[in-house]
Structure 1
Amino acid sequence: MTVPHTWLKKNNLKKGDTLSVQETMRNSLEIMPLSGNSDGVHELTIDISEKSTDEIIQLLLSTYLNGYTVITLTGPNAGKVAFVRKHVHEFIAAEVMEVTADKIVIHVFWEVKTLDLQAIIVRIGHITKNLFMETIAMIDSDSNIRDIQERGLEVQRQVLLARRAIKYALNNSATAYRFNLSSLELLYISYIIYFFGMIGDYVIKVSDILHTAKLNKFKDLLKDQHAKLELKGLLTRVADYYMKVFDTYNKHSKLTRFIFSEYADFEAAIDAFKEKNPQLWAPVLAEFMKLLIFKIKETEFIMISMENAPKL
């Protein structure tokens, strides 16, 4: 078999190396290297001379997600180093390794060969479940908001790591082969992980509102025992819905047919709660609960699509 020389060079292949050949659903053949430098060093240098800290963080996020392992920020960095360090800490396996007056070098220490995408998703699910439980407990007790926020940050860190791995796999057939996932499956999983991250973020927003209530910044918040009981029931119902969807994904079970009327009834119950409780806090909490169930529903739809997608 003759293959392009540039492709051989790019993948560091030589005579005698093994290739994987798979048939795709388009009735074509896909050739993938099972060895090579696809897991090697990928470097990028960015000039930050005229960039704001927000622009720098956006660039760091995109380079992290796109699989770079060495990121060098050049240009005067006075007043920016601490900000960069803080945000690099949010990326799993990333460290600031060198700092001078005009250079910041960041290394991402990861080994895609040992990365378990399914394990990351399971971890995200379990942390988010705890977020729900601790947030619900805040209604009646004094849960530590800092612990909850830290767990929320860990969800986002895991989400970023998973998205990095998926993007890398979409650009490296050998990595996708290790994950035993087609490009279409990787696409669906990327949506699921992104939605899981949004769900975690919304739960944190709910916990922040409840914490603010504990500090009496919202008038009459949580003083009505009937409202508290109803709120607890609604949040528990949201958490149960999330766990049902997550457990279905985790156990690779076949999804039952989605019943839209159940979702509509759930939304109506939240609206009724909002109407019965006109205090400032109730509408805000109600909207976040609606965002939560909408995003969980979207996740469920993606899972149904993935379940019925063509297989390679």
Structure 2
Amino acid sequence: MPEYSGGCGKEGAARREAAPGGDAFTEHRALLFTIAYEMLGSAADAEDVLQESYLRWSAVDAAGVEHPRAYLVRVVTRQALNHLRAVRARREEYVGTWLPEPIRTGPAVSEDAILAESVSMALMLVLETLNPTERAVFVLHDVFGYTHGEIAASVGKTEVTVRQIAHRARRHVHARRRRFEPDSAAGREVVRRFLLATTAGEIQALMDLMAPDVVQISDGGGKVSAARRPITGSADVARFVLGVARTSLTEATEIEHATYNGMPAARFLTGGALDWLAAFEIHDGRITGLYAMRNPDKLHRADTVRPLDRGDHRLWKP
């Protein structure tokens, strides 16, 4: 895949250098990736959308674009919508439970509570239950703060229609969203104690660290062994975790603490290579959600820290 800054040949590169604001794509790349990822739940698909969007941007005379960021957000939104409609059928046929592709996030994400929650596993799963247009409207309005009129230009609907879609999507999300706290020192301590109890085989200690209604979800994608359905309840989840530990953790396994999707997480490595990872949803000092990614296809990019950005929340501002 060519680099965005020079992937369209010498003529495209020269045009970008010559045009005012020619580096706009690079400048707003983190924002554009964040929008695409939240709409698609896949870093790989988001990168494909950015590549397609860059090719379209490179063919435009940037000197004639009054507000480059607004133009790029519209392009990325439309490309992401097209992509989402194409992949929905594949996700319905997915083997086992589907989880968003995890992305490694830096401290800045946890400092923005809205951004951290918007990329959390729990909320991303709720967004999967929206139709593509509802998802785009919710993400652009409730996460990025764009107005209904601004969003209308991106999704090809009237402002009145967008307002109705936003209301319907927000009601749907709010009825299903879970409690969320961004990654913190307290949360990482809970994870540390959880891992110690796991390696020691202490089932009661594990149960004490989890909320009674904790939910565990594994994604193996049919490629590796994983629970095909969510597991609920501290006792059942604790037994499942200890079973996984007995079969998956050896003396050669290295465990690293990290942050994924704004949540405290643990990386499990064998021979220095990432084997699988788990992200923890924590509220009031207890684990409420445990998300295990074992599908190797979704771990190829898991080492890269992704810069995410909500911009300044104004689509049309130059």
- TM-score w.r.t. the length of structure 1 is 0.27
Indicate the structure with greater strand content.
Answer: 2
The normalised TM-score by structure 2 is 0.27
Q: Give the number of the structure whose alpha-carbon radius of gyration is greater.
A: 1
Q: Hey, which of these two has a bigger chunk of helix by percent?
A: 1
